[in-house]
């Protein structure tokens, strides 16, 4: 019985293969698809952010600081996920908050920034310090909502600055 089943299965596969239409690779189909995609693809939007020129050393320093800010935000989120609110607050204050300004050399960089960029940076640092306090409070109260709101206000300043300015 098992032998007959195997034979019937093999015969069915062979029969299906014999009657299946041949599948050939047609390069013209790729060309047609690419032409259609080119018609529907819009050109990349022009970057209209204000260019901010920094001396080379300060540019590299500033970009390094911004990458550390992004890393700090990731570490804060990780700490929040683990309900380690005090740790999240410490990271925020030390690496993003008002206490971090000397570490980042803000005094050296600020003169090269337009007023709006300075204001966004200051607001980000202030909001990070507010988050640090709210995170410490969450450690005592268990209510993380104010901390999350303060963290959102912090990252909103990052988004606003990066949307308006580009460092050169």
Contact 146, 118 (CB under 8 A): no
Question: Per-residue pLDDT averaged across 45-50, rounded?
Answer: 92
pLDDT of residue 27: 53
**What residues does each domain of the chain span?**
50-167
Q: 130 pLDDT exceeds 70?
A: yes
Taking the model in full, what pTM does it have? 0.72
Fold of 50-167: 1.20.120
SS3 annotation, 43-64:
CCCCCCCEEECCCHHHHHHHHH
Q: 25 pLDDT exceeds 60?
A: no
**CA count, 13 A, side-chain hemisphere, 91:** 20
Q: What is the pLDDT of residues 90-125, one digit of tens each?
A: 999 999 999 999 988 888 999 999 999 999 999 999
Separation between Cα atoms, residue 36 and residue 22, nearest integer Å: 26
**DSSP reduced 3-state for 144:** coil
Percent of the chain with pLDDT strictly greater than 70: 76
Which of residues 128 and 27 earns the better pLDDT score? Answer: 128
Separation between Cα atoms, residue 2 and residue 32, nearest integer Å: 49
């Amino acid at each position: 019985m098992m032998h007959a089943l195997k034979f019937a299965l093999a015969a069915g596969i062979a029969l299906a293969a014999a009657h299946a239409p041949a599948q050939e690779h047609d390069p013209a189909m790729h060309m047609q698809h690419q032409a259609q995609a080119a018609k529907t693809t819009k050109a990349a939007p022009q970057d209209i952010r204000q260019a901010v020129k920094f001396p080379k050393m300060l540019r590299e320093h500033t970009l390094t600081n911004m990458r550390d800010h992004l890393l700090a935000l990731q570490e804060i989120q990780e700490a929040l996920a683990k309900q380690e609110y005090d740790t999240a607050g410490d990271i925020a204050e030390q690496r993003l908050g008002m206490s971090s300004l000397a570490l980042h050399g803000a005094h050296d960089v600020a003169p090269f920034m337009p007023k709006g960029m300075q204001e966004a940076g200051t607001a980000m640092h202030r909001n990070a310090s507010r988050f640090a306090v709210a995170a410490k409070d969450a450690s005592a109260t268990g209510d993380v909502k104010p901390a999350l709101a303060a963290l959102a206000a912090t990252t909103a300043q990052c988004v606003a600055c990066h949307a308006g300015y580009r460092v050169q």
